[in-house]
A and B are shown apart, each in its own frame.
Chain A
């Protein structure tokens, strides 16, 4: 039910992001989704890729600090109120969202929302109970 995501520590200086992309590109790793959280000094780049372990090893070799985290991907209709419905469900069940990001599927009319929960098991239970479709990692990696 969970999706593997890699997080990379990036200093806030020119060329670091490009370096990540270059290293992954050379190894033939394809990026499916991406989000960057930043502060004035540093950022955390979060990626979902088609080959998680290869990407992690490659970046580590390249001198980056990398960790693998588990996130939950949810599919919602790409229309007004789509996100709101899910957030209401989570809010009502007092499930805390650490962070989230979204992208729109290339074909088909759905959006995919990636959630990082502090308690993913509870979150999955709540979403499932409310008939919200959770995307399997394999599907996302191949999307």
Chain B
């Protein structure tokens, strides 16, 4: 039996869901046209007035909003609510330059809290769970987003935030944590630290792990589930749209992330032409928020590469499913003309027995030719006393990468812990070509 948080909405027939979406889309377009000068300009330039939105198909006539538009609006120029109505401000980590800023009204926080609680239930969490929330608290949406949702669910939330792994493990053992929320890379770091400290996850009460904020692979799921002895569930969200809880896998299927379509419209486009692609095609995810007040976004280009399916899911939820993200379009590396996502290399490494998921890709350009170096840590399981065994391993990884992705790489075996560990989003790529 599937559990739901909002059964009626989550299982709503698609026709009814679409009617609700249209009403909300119309209200959103009207709101941004009235309140946000940026949207008034772009809509006017595209020759569209809000009352011309008569069907969901009219969505594709609307102009896109990009990350750059958000940067240009720094800090508050895309807000559609006055500052007296805004009760919370978050900002993206913004690796380059200024962060992107988002504001929430009380109602926005309510919706987010509900959707996060809905996501927890879909992932198999329930009232009575002890939720160990190791997402960072602060400007980053992960910590607080999961926190409020956990409380709404009626679970006990441990607001441990990121960092101090030894303490995390102690609390996990002593407090009897049953649900873990953090980035997938941090979960594996915890597993590694636990092993060194002689802690066996089989003796812990963890049942479910909800991992997000960075793309990860199916093979990494297998690894996490084996090492942490729990169900590993993929969650999706981004601060521009809301934060965690935009979409999540159901524990019943673990096959695609249900995007909560009563609040978000999803489209897949060709990232180059901007054309909307048919259902099932892989492309860039574009999201329109249809209930937000603080900072509604119309056709926001997420830069995440995925595909969308409206096929009914065995869990009973009718909301469309996003395929696992294969990466951000801006994480994509072009190496000698070949598109490579770090997650693809990760999958290859995971499939090779005994290789730890601690890797770093170093891209460079030597004599006008792109080079890819894959650094892989050698731990005790991988180590052999014989040179040829290690060299064979390195060559095998190189060959797999060549066979699967069509790029030549150089695998460098490095000492353990030389690749920096992350308690938040893992840094997987150093691209020295960018100047």
Contact = CB atoms under 8 A, between A and B. Distances in A.
Contacts, number: 52
Interface of A: 7, 9-11, 16, 37, 39, 41-42, 44, 46, 63-67, 69, 98-99, 116
Contacts of A116: 385-386
A42 B389 CA distance: 13
A67 B380 contact: yes
B381 to A, nearest CB: 9
B46 interface: no
24 contacts: A9-B383, A9-B390, A9-B413, A9-B415, A11-B415, A16-B415, A37-B387, A39-B391, A42-B390, A42-B412, A44-B385, A44-B390, A63-B416, A63-B417, A64-B416, A65-B383, A65-B415, A65-B416, A66-B380, A66-B383, A67-B385, A98-B386, A99-B386, A116-B386
B131 interface: no
Contacts of B414: 11, 42
B385 A7 contact: yes
Nearest to B415: A11
B346 to A, nearest CB: 21
Contact of B415 (A37, A64, A69): A64
Nearest to B411: A41
9 closest Cβ pairs, A-B complex:
A7-B385, A69-B385, A65-B383, A11-B415, A9-B378, A37-B387, A41-B412, A9-B383, A42-B413
B151 interface: no
A137 B385 CA distance: 19
Contacts of A37: 387
A3 to B, nearest CB: 13
A4 B391 CA distance: 24
Interface in B400-419: 412-418
A25 to B, nearest CB: 20
Contacts of A99: 386
B192 interface: no
Nearest to A116: B385
A85 to B, nearest CB: 26
A142 B349 CA distance: 44
B379 interface: yes
Nearest to B385: A7
Contacts of B380: 65-67
Contacts of B383: 7, 9, 65-67
Nearest to B394: A41
A65 B378 contact: yes
Nearest to A99: B386
B117 to A, nearest CB: 43
